[in-house]
Amino acid sequence: MYKILTKEMLTPTICRMKVEAPRLARSARPGQFLIVRVDEKGERIPLTISDYDQETGSVTIVTQMIGASTRMLCEKEAGEYFCDVVGPLGMPSEFTEMPQEKLSSQRYVFIAGGVGTAPVYPQVKWLHERGVAVDVIIGAKTADLLIYTQEIGAVCDNLFICTDDGSAGFKGLVIAMLEKLVNEEGRKYTQAVAIGPMIMMKFATLTAKKLSLPIIVSLNTLMVDGTGMCGACRVTVAGKTRFACVEGPEFNGYDVDFDEAMRRQGMYRSEETEADHKCKIGRNE
């Protein structure tokens, strides 16, 4: 059993929890994920690690309520327990293997969208602690849906906020801000990283390619069972079939077949919506 130490609703549908998991916290690295089971009959829910603290033996997860299983997870309260928390799983971000000498010459720009902003935080913090220059672009539809702006702002060189409606920061898409920073302000980056909705990562990749900027994307939203056994996270990368949960979740954005990935992502949407509807009915009976 894994105790929920704290719980906070970042938005009406996005929940942040700190969970007691000492062994996981000692081994976790940026870019990796874990699997949560709410109870013995619960579905395996893969979630990218949003932070980890070796001293307190805790890991932080951020979950968006998009179906029955994530809703049940978010309905748990501080002091309650999860049946299972397994990890760390997946491959860590490639920069964690880079020699310090090479790291020091890099300048990163992260493009974060929606709930994908949360897993950007441990990556930016890791780079910041090693003196690497990092700018971050965070996007959301409206100011009320922005998350992790203070946390990321404290560990990056420059933070740029974008909202579709202009209620905070730059009015427009994150890709428009990326183009503005490079083309109009003359900022030079050696590496981009995009984490967020699949459609955002697709267009961030197209924009980065136009700017001759290498880009890494995270396909964590494709994962289901987190072990490669179910095959739900299959995606074509550089013409070969890869499994996001065991060979990723991060890949070279130039190589990803985003159209295939988006089709795969939508395969179980109707079933999940139906299950969530039944879950709500069950609670109201």
Q: Which domains does the chain have, with CATH numbers?
A: 2-89 (2.40.30.10), 94-200 (3.40.50.80)
The reported pLDDT for the residue numbered 221 is 78
Please report, as a single letter, which amino acid is at residue 262: M
Neighbour-count burial for 100-122, b at 16+ CB within 10 Å, e otherwise:
eeeeeeeebbbbbbbbbbbbbbb
Predicted model pTM: 0.88
The reported pLDDT for the residue numbered 267 is 61
Torsion of CA 189, 191, 193, 199, to 10 degrees: 80
| DSSP SS3 for 29 | coil
The reported pLDDT for the residue numbered 229 is 65
Please report, as a single letter, which amino acid is at residue 180: K
Q: How far apart are CA 236 and CA 249, in angstroms?
A: 13
The reported pLDDT for the residue numbered 276 is 43
Q: How far apart are CA 215 and CA 192, in angstroms?
A: 4
The tens place of each residue's pLDDT in the chain, 285 residues long, gives 899 999 999 999 999 999 999 999 999 999 999 999 998 888 888 898 999 999 999 999 999 988 888 899 999 999 999 999 988 998 999 999 999 999 999 999 999 999 999 999 999 999 999 999 999 999 999 999 999 999 999 999 999 999 999 999 999 999 999 999 999 999 999 999 999 999 999 999 999 999 999 999 998 877 666 666 666 777 888 999 888 877 878 999 999 998 988 887 766 554 444 444 343 444 444
Q: For the sheet with 215-218, list strands across it.
A: 170-171, 158-163, 133-140, 107-113, 191-195, 215-218, 250-252
